Structures are given as structure tokens and as C-alpha cells.
Amino acid sequence: MNDITKKYSNGEVTIVWKPNVCVHSEMCFHGLPEVFNPHAKPWINAEGSTTVRIMEQVKQCPSGALTYYMNSEVAAGEGVAPEISAASVIEPLPNGPLLVYGNIVVKDAHGRETHKNKVTAFCRCGASSNKPYCDGTHVKIQFKDNQ
């Protein structure tokens, strides 16, 4: 898989997007559609909002596919842009599955490995017929977290 990195700048801040890390949570374009528009080409318009609002929205990205850096900091550091890396994120949904965002390898009971990327939903209720993955049975059985 290619490690693609795309950059979009408004002159003050540079938005960095790593499409191979993106889990398509849609938080970016629901939170700041004037900057993040999946129907436009390019889909990121760094001039669509203020630098502060862009930074606030990019921080909401659950996968780390979107990051940013300040152009003035790069200029002060002899023009070297920071290295951007992304980690996996694990999130238990209330009364639902465990979501794992990012690239992972799942090994089954027979030792077979499956490579997953984007988002993977794991069963927490114990009733899935597709374990270890969630099949939505938690809704049918009205699974509730211990409170």
C-alpha cells in the first residue's frame, strides 16, 4: 500500500491528509463542510475557514489521517515540515461494538490472519454469529454496558 500524503495550505496552516489512514468517520465534513467537501475536487479547501476553526476540526479526526502544522513553525525550523504519523484508535461505542480505527491484523482461532484497515467493529456483547466481528446482534438482544 502506498503511503500517500497530501497537503493543503491557506498560507498560515497546512492540512496534511493521509488517505490510507482515513477511516471515513465523516467527522471532518460534518464539522466543517466549508473546508472538507467530499464532492469537490480537491476535497479540502484550506481557504474555506479560519486557521483556528481548521485546527479545531482537524483535532477531531479519530484516525489521525488529518493533521496540521503551522507554516510559521516550519519556516522557523529551516523549512522542514514535521513528520506526520498516525496510530490506531480504539473506541468502545456505548451499548455497542468496540471500534478499531486504522490498520490492524486479526488472527483467528486457527491462526489465519486477516488484514483490516479503515474501521473494524468487534463484538462486545458475545452474541454475534460472526465473532470476533460485530454483526449488529447487540441491538436485537438490547445489550447494555455495565454501569
Backbone angles phi, psi at 69, to 5 degrees: -145, 155
Q: How many residues does the chain have?
A: 147
- Cβ count near 63 (within 10 Å): 22
Q: Is the pTM of this model over 0.85?
A: no
Q: Domains along the chain? A: 6-76 (3.30.70.20), 89-140 (no CATH)
Q: To which H or E segment does residue 30 belong?
A: helix 27-31
Looking at this protein, which amino acid is placed at residue 16?
V
Secondary structure (DSSP) of 45-65? -TTSS-HHHHHHHHTT-SSS-
Per-residue pLDDT of the chain (147 residues; tens, 9 = 90+): 457 889 999 999 999 998 877 777 788 999 999 999 999 999 999 999 999 999 999 988 877 789 898 888 877 765 556 565 556 778 888 998 988 877 788 887 788 888 776 678 889 999 998 889 888 889 899 999 985
Tell me the three state secondary structure of residue 137: helix
140's grid cell: 436485537
Q: pLDDT at position 147, please?
A: 54
Contact 120, 104 (CB under 8 A): yes
